[in-house]
Amino acid sequence: MLLIMLSARASGETIDRVLAVVAGQLITLSDVTAARDLGLERADGAPDPIRAILSKLIDRGLILAEVDRYAPPEPAAAAVSERVEQVRARFPSPAAFDAALARSGVDQRHLRETLRQELRILAYLDQRFPAADDRRRSLIEEWVSGLRRRGDVADLYLASR
């Protein structure tokens, strides 16, 4: 196994790129691609879609670190399964969904865990920011901005020219 990894490096092949480190957790180009391809995050027409999705994943990592500190209740298994079905429904067929998972290097277990974490984040935000929509959005943006200022983030992404 080590020999295979060394030969890939010797040939100059890039296996994956680390784009950021958030609270000790790596965010790779594969993570950004998976989030985009599975419809978990959108670039919303940004001029640099990688940057846009990476920024969202960095924020997610910072928020998740806070969620882990305060441990909101675990989401029900049925709620996680419902989220998985919502993701699956974005694809025209089960084969297309499976192909997107394979291309992204994500298996069903990893997808379920990602969606479980997302539900934990939503529960935490609902508990911490119960205000109405516009006010809530503003409060969350201010809070995340504070997390970014004091968070443990190494943003390594440089846009290609």
pLDDT of residue 130: 86
Cα–Cα distance measured from residue 141 to residue 62, given in angstroms and rounded to the nearest whole number: 12
Exposed (0-12), middle (13-18) or buried (19+): which is 153, by Cβ within 10 Å?
middle
Contact 110, 117 (CB under 8 A): no
pLDDT of residue 7: 39
The residues, ordered by sequence, that sit 6+ positions from 139 with a Cβ below 8 Å of its Cβ are 129, 131
pTM for this prediction: 0.85
Residue 58, token pair as written in the block: 């960095």
Q: Say if 82 falls within a structural domain.
A: yes
Query: If you compute the radius of gyration of the chain from its CA atoms, what whole number of angstroms results?
Result: 17
Q: How many domains does the chain have?
A: 1
pLDDT of residue 55: 97
Q: Say if 33 falls within a structural domain.
A: yes
- The boundaries of the domain holding residue 48 are 2-155
Q: Say if 88 falls within a structural domain.
A: yes
Q: Say if 30 falls within a structural domain.
A: yes
Please report, for residues 6, 87, 92, 98, 119, the alpha-carbon distance to residue 95 in angstroms, rounded to integers and kept in the order given: 34, 13, 8, 5, 26
Which CATH number fits the domain that encloses residue 28?
1.10.4030.10
pLDDT of residue 133: 80
Positions of the chain with pLDDT lower than 50, given as ranges: 1-10
Q: Say if 93 falls within a structural domain.
A: yes
Q: Say if 91 falls within a structural domain.
A: yes
